[in-house]
């Protein structure tokens, strides 16, 4: 898996941090506040995934997602206002609830000690990443993002979100490496597809919120692990 690799890229949500379910809660709270409707959390996730995939070529897929919520749930606010309220609701969850997945910090520091270059390659916003850097005590007690990652790419750094390969091609080109020298860690089908589209080997990490896509994920990924503890023994 790691033989001849120099750069290891990590997705964030669902891969390093246990956050996908949190975003379901954020959207549930948003929908209830603005429409007084209660929606099943897994339905919310399916709608969000489908919407973001549909609007992946737009300048701001999340704004389009908020426009979708406005129409579906008959919200009175504009898409821009809905997006702002979604972000405000998320602050508590980003700062106080979200945590690293088990043994993530130990695994990342082991990779760093072995001389691998680490990159954080996420289509979440730079604002969210900065909240994790500055405000999230759970994460900062275990690892320092800027100490571990030599490159951080976020939604603002690319024109095309996953499954487009731009994020991973940009990371590879930044370090002037070729595909065979890179490895990607992802949890979702869209993320795995982005790695496949980039022509780079990908390790799929189990996340309960990608359970419905698990067979497709396993078929497309070169490697699959249940958790990071499986990999620590390699070091």
Rounded to two decimals, the pTM is: 0.85
In 3D space, the residue among 149, 151, 143 whose CA is nearest the CA of residue 169 turns out to be: 151
Say if residue 83 is in the same domain as residue 165: no
Say if residue 61 is in the same domain as residue 169: no
Is residue 2 domain-resident?
no
Say if residue 200 is in the same domain as residue 159: yes
Say if residue 221 is in the same domain as residue 117: yes
In this predicted model, what pLDDT tens digit does every residue of 4-41 receive, in sequence order? 999 999 999 999 999 888 999 999 999 999 999 999 99
User: For residue 18, which phi and psi values (nearest 5 degrees)?
Assistant: -90, 85
Domain that holds residue 70: 20-97
| Domain count along the chain | 2
In this predicted model, what pLDDT tens digit does every residue of 206-222 receive, in sequence order? 999 899 899 999 999 99
pLDDT at res. 59: 85
Say if residue 45 is in the same domain as residue 148: no
Tell me which of 97, 115, 139 is where a domain ends: 97
């Amino acid at each position: 898996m790691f033989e001849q690799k120099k750069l290891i890229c990590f997705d964030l949500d669902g891969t390093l941090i246990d956050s996908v379910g949190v975003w379901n809660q954020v959207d549930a709270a948003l929908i209830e506040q603005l429409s007084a409707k209660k929606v099943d959390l897994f339905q919310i996730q399916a709608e969000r995934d489908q919407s973001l995939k549909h609007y992946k070529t737009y300048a701001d897929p999340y704004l389009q997602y908020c426009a979708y919520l406005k129409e579906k749930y008959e919200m009175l606010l504009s898409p821009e206002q809905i997006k702002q309220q979604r972000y405000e609701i998320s602050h508590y969850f980003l700062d106080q609830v979200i945590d690293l997945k088990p043994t993530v910090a130990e695994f990342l520091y082991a990779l760093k000690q072995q001389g691998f270059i680490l990159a954080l390659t996420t289509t979440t916003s730079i604002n969210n990443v900065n909240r994790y850097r500055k405000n999230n005590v759970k994460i900062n007690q275990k690892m320092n993002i800027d100490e571990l990652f030599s490159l951080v790419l976020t939604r603002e750094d690319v024109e095309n979100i996953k499954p487009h390969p731009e994020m991973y091609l940009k990371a590879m080109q930044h370090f002037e490496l070729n595909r065979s020298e890179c490895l990607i860690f992802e949890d979702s089908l869209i993320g795995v597809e982005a790695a496949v589209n980039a022509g780079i080997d990908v390790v799929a990490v189990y996340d309960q919120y990608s359970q419905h896509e698990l067979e497709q994920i396993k078929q497309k990924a070169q490697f699959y692990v249940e958790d990071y503890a499986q990999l620590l023994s390699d070091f």
